[in-house]
Structure 1
Amino acid sequence: MRGRVPALVAGIAALAVVFYVGWRLWVKSGDQLRPVVVLRGADAAALVTPRLGARLHALASGGRAPAAGRPRLIALTFDDGPYPVTTPLLLQTLHDLRVPATFFLIGRDAEQYPGLTRAIAADGHEIADHTLTHPNLDTLGEADVAAELRDGADVLNRIAPDPAERRLFRPPHGRYRLATVRTAQVSGYDTILWNDDPGDWRSVGTAELTAHVFAHATAPEILLLHSGRTATIAMLPELVTRYRQAGYAFVTVGRLLRLTSPAELNRPAAIPFPSS
């Protein structure tokens, strides 16, 4: 009996290790397969809840594609707002850099600052739907999700009409369920997430943001940024210069979707940037 206890403990410990390693691999494969875009006609279930075979393939391949032949295109996207002070500064910086961007605006904020919303459109930027009130959509039923999309687009369309307001949608905080994405598809939307989130929604300095972006560059790329952050605005000149030096062109999300395939966006190539 005495000999069995250590063996039993060792067996339980071994099973715990196997379970932990398996769980970590499952999480890692999910991160590698997290979709960047889910188009209206796509198989949402395959993208949002990938099967075991897809997960194993992602782990074996490292989740990244070879860089050869991948389009060097980047779409800067700015969530939330618009905001007084920071949004005008952002627009002036983008104008000076001659960079188009996509603004995922909150309907209620656009309603509060209609002049700034029109200024975004007047500068040639794309305006897309970030819902009416910015809720956590993964906690809402399908009817409420559909209402957030519809009402947010209605507000934006009254102020500054743009076809993308009824075609491109980003879930607030990146929170969604399969039902959320399917509701967006039924409502006529492509769900747009991102290849990289440098975390400018936190209190992060310009140098840290810039280093993160260059360390995680991909081809093609959708970059998540926020329009209410001065550190984000401050990093844009260096970011734009170095991406252009690396052969990138800046485009809106709508144009990026026309020039690339969902497979290229969902499985991009990592692009090493030399140290500045």
Structure 2
Amino acid sequence: PASLTDMRVVRRTDLHAALLAAAADVVDIRTGSGVDDTMSDRGLIRLADGTEIGDCDLIVGADGLRSRVRAAVVEDPGARRCGYSAWRAITTTPVSVDAAGETTGRGARFGIAPLPDGHVYWFASVSDDGDDAAGGLDAVRQRFSGWHRPIGQLLDATDPATVGYLPIEELAKPLPTFVRAGRGCASVLVGDAAHAMTPNLGQGANQAMEDAATLTALLRRHGRADLDEALRTYDRLRRPRTQRIARQASMIGRVGQLRAGPAVWARDLALRMTPDAVLNAQMRRVQRWQPPEV
């Protein structure tokens, strides 16, 4: 197992609740309204229910891996499967776990991260050829039976109905820009719409929040009068960092899911020979970030 330090884990539902509470009296929040089309030249957004929202100065595309806004900014490369899938869940009862960590096997990994309330987030990933059935908790038990403690205890403490399963995907290639400025309504991409990455560094949501904080600071600094400069600076600050982290996450996934015997042996030897201090320093470099000053 590789230990990780300086990591803080929160439930996504708690994060959503905090963000919604902060935005409740500031913006109009409309749920269940997917974007059907964006017409940047007219400053217009058409929702899936036919509603049109116009007179926009800036469209912020925060609509995920399969973004509908992305095509208004760049040629959309689409998504690609990474060759492995993952089950994810949070235990329904507390389990005593000393620290977060990840264990690698042949074409399989199991990771754990304790939450502040004593419950534990876990994931189990397996290499596949795209035809695996989800299988649920029973499939996880079958594939990871015999693995070390506390994996069995975590599975026993999990409600099968709460286990999610997804193929791991990422953007097919990095975007050349996150922004479209100039004539008409400007557009900018944040989060997975801009840099959807594999979850191997736990940075998908973190980088989305960094994007939002950076964009907010720059818009406050430059205002509507210099919107293009704000967007150019956002692209300059965010694209190199997020794409570097996406490359690192993708590489970790490929190495972690190795199946060939000699490659697995070499990987495991390298992990055993690498001091924890080196791994922790690498994680801290990913986590070290400050927003631009307003």
Q: TM-score, normalised by structure 2?
A: 0.26
More helix by share: 1
Q: More strand by proportion, 1 or 2? A: 2
TM-score (norm 1): 0.27
Greater relative contact order structure (CA < 8 Å, 6+ sep): 1
